[in-house]
Amino acid sequence: MKNLTKLFSLLGLTLLASSYAKSDEPTVYKLYYLGGQSNMEGFGFSEELPEEAGTVSRDVMIFTGQMAFDNETHGGVGIWEPLQPGHGTGFKTDGTRNKLSGRFGPELFFGQTMAERSPDTKIAIIKYALGGSGLAVGVGYGNWHPEFSEGAGNNQYDHFLKTLRNAIGQSDIDGDGIADQLVPSGIVWMQGEADAYDSQVAADEYRANIERLMSLIRAALRVDDLPLVIGKITDSGMSDDGSVMDYIETVQSAQLDFVNNDACATYVTVTEELGYLDDGWHYDTDGFMRLGTAFALAMDELEQTCGYTE
């Protein structure tokens, strides 16, 4: 099957990258994948951050894959750099140089909070998200369905795999001349609005689609029970009929049912308390600060529950 071919290819490259170790004492990084759609992409304004939150985090490295639509070939390129604001919407990279935007997403406070809670551990974040992307084929501005075959057959799942391959393929992520060790430690997923907006059919398919995709992402990271944090999608109510997403309850129920049936998954509901920008879709700056922090706290607790503590 197509998805297995992609996965085996990725794993082969992952093993190849690990064989180029230059030192018997590599820097060990706990590795987290952050993915989804626009509220993972990030719409917080960097200029509104507290001064201490706007600095470069030297204990946290990030690789943000260039986002791309389905059937485009440039998705997933990127480079590692220390975490700082600017990896939100509008971020661009050509795989040689990053161009930061004036926005940030959950990655900023997730990375900072994880580093604070594990001061003796380095943190590495791989991020790939596309605003408006759905799990079902034909939904939103791109889809994550593993069996997508329209056009060139290159979709968000492919771009994720390429991001992961490119990130892991760089053995020295901090540029100190010594190969580093990346230890897969968790997944954070913020997505579902596109499916909840599109149709009842797409919403009905969400439960099966999220289970399959998360299983494949865990497999790509080579840990079947990798801790998984899912953010609850919410509706701003900023529409004439009071509901931006007509099928949101179906998707919310699917998200909750999935985490309730997965011993190493948890549901973050702080989104119920967050404010929105005027567009009615995206959380405000304070919201992204709180969301990233909540993701980190949930991940830290889940790691202890699932036995991923040091």
pLDDT beyond 60 at 20: no
What does the alpha-carbon distance between residue 273 and residue 231 come to, in Å, rounded to a whole number? 12
Average pLDDT, the chain: 92
Band of pLDDT at residue 57, cut at 50, 70 and 90:
confident
* Residue 163 belongs to a domain: yes
Specify the number of domains making up the chain.
1
* Residue 109 belongs to a domain: yes
* Residue 267 belongs to a domain: yes
Length of the chain: 310
* Residue 310 belongs to a domain: no
Which residues lie across from 80 on neighbouring strands? 63
pLDDT beyond 80 at 2: no
What does the alpha-carbon distance between residue 226 and residue 29 come to, in Å, rounded to a whole number? 16
* Residue 254 belongs to a domain: yes
Band of pLDDT at residue 13, cut at 50, 70 and 90:
very low
Torsion of the alpha carbons at 62, 11, 145 and 191, rounded to the nearest 10: -30
* Residue 12 belongs to a domain: no
Q: What is the CATH number of the domain that holds 227?
A: 3.40.50.1110
pLDDT tens digits, residue range 130-162? 999 999 999 999 999 999 999 989 999 999 999
Residues 6+ apart with CB under 8 A from 141: 69, 130, 131, 132, 133, 194
Q: What is the pLDDT of residue 307?
A: 76
* Residue 198 belongs to a domain: yes
Which residue segment(s) compose the domain that 176 sits in?
Answer: 26-305
Band of pLDDT at residue 309, cut at 50, 70 and 90:
low
* Residue 8 belongs to a domain: no
- Kindly report the backbone phi and psi dihedral angles of residue 51, in degrees, each rounded to the nearest multiple of 5, phi listed first: -55, -45
Q: What is the pLDDT of residue 24?
A: 65
Lowest mean pLDDT, pick from 18-27, 46-55, 251-260: 18-27
Band of pLDDT at residue 269, cut at 50, 70 and 90:
very high
What is the pTM for the complete model shown? 0.92
